[in-house]
């Protein structure tokens, strides 16, 4: 029974949507306005993006653990959820600004264009996170997914430049840096060289 629930796609969808329900309920009853929605939507876009990107390095470091295989099978949904939260972030930004002219007037600010660039780079893997796109892109699909890396870095830059609060922004990307570093160390470690000889 428990396994059926855990393996149900609705279960992971519910988990991924859960923070959004909380945000939307606070928006609906007026506790948060459009400006107030910007931070939580952006934060969860980054969180889910980092989680999706961490799965590969975690498997390289820890091996094929059961919980990692479970996550791996759902990685596309996690990445897609990140994209949906990013879209929500953009929608609330548009609502908050209220006019295209206002958005264009600040487009060149570093804190803003980094967000737009991250959004565009994230949209590519986000929109390609389905079977049809996988089939259509073939070997190029993996290359498209790699746009998530510059998207993650630009998202962190966007966050830090806007809020001046670099610590929480860098804390989010730190696991990705750490496990990519460990992945490299593991690949070039002497044990591995000996084992491969």
Partner 1 sequence: MKKTSLVLAASMAFALSLPGTAMAHGKINCGGGPREGWTDVEQLKQKLLGEGWTIKKAKKVRDCYEVYGKTPEGDNVESFFHPVSLKKILVLKRGRELYRAPGY
Q: How far apart are CA 87 and CA 91, in angstroms?
A: 6
Q: 19, 20, 111, 175: which one contacts partner 1 (CB under 8 A)?
A: 111
State the nearest-atom distance from the C-beta of 65 to partner 1, in Å. 19
Find the part of the chain contacting partner 1 (CB under 8 A) among 10-18, 42-50, 62-70, 146-154. Answer: 146-154
Q: How far apart are CA 76 and CA 175, in angstroms?
A: 19
Q: Which two tokens stand for residue 28?
A: 């609906």
Q: How far apart are CA 125 and CA 176, in angstroms?
A: 18
Given CA atoms 89, 21, 19, 168 in this order, what sign does their dihedral have? Answer: positive
Does position 192 interact with partner 1 (CB under 8 A)? The reply is no
State the nearest-atom distance from the C-beta of 9 to partner 1, in Å. 28
Q: 5, 14, 91, 105: which one contacts partner 1 (CB under 8 A)?
A: 105
* Of residues 60 and 141, the one with the C-beta less far from partner 1: 60
Does position 119 interact with partner 1 (CB under 8 A)? The reply is no
Does position 106 interact with partner 1 (CB under 8 A)? The reply is yes
State the nearest-atom distance from the C-beta of 50 to partner 1, in Å. 12
Spatial CB neighbours of 114, under 8 Å, sequence gap ≥ 6: 154, 155, 157, 158, 161
């Amino acid at each position: 029974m428990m396994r059926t629930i855990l393996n149900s796609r609705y279960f992971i969808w519910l988990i991924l949507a859960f923070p959004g329900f909380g945000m939307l309920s606070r928006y609906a009853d007026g506790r948060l306005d459009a400006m107030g929605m910007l931070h939580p939507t952006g934060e969860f876009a980054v969180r889910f993006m980092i989680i999706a990107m961490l799965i590969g390095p975690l498997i390289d470091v820890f091996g094929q653990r059961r919980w990692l295989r479970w996550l791996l099978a759902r990685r596309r949904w996690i990445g897609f959820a990140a994209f949906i939260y990013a879209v929500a972030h953009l929608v609330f930004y548009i609502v908050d600004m209220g006019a295209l002219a206002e958005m264009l007037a600040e487009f060149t600010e570093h804190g803003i264009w980094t967000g737009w660039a991250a959004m565009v780079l994230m949209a590519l893997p986000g929109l390609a996170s389905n079977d049809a796109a996988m089939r259509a892109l073939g070997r190029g699909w993996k290359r498209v997914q790699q746009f998530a890396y510059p998207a993650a870095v630009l998202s962190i830059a966007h966050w830090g430049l806007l809020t001046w609060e670099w610590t929480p922004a860098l804390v989010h990307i730190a696991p990705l840096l750490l496990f990519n570093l460990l992945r490299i160390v593991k690949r070039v470690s002497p044990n591995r060289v000996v084992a491969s000889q």
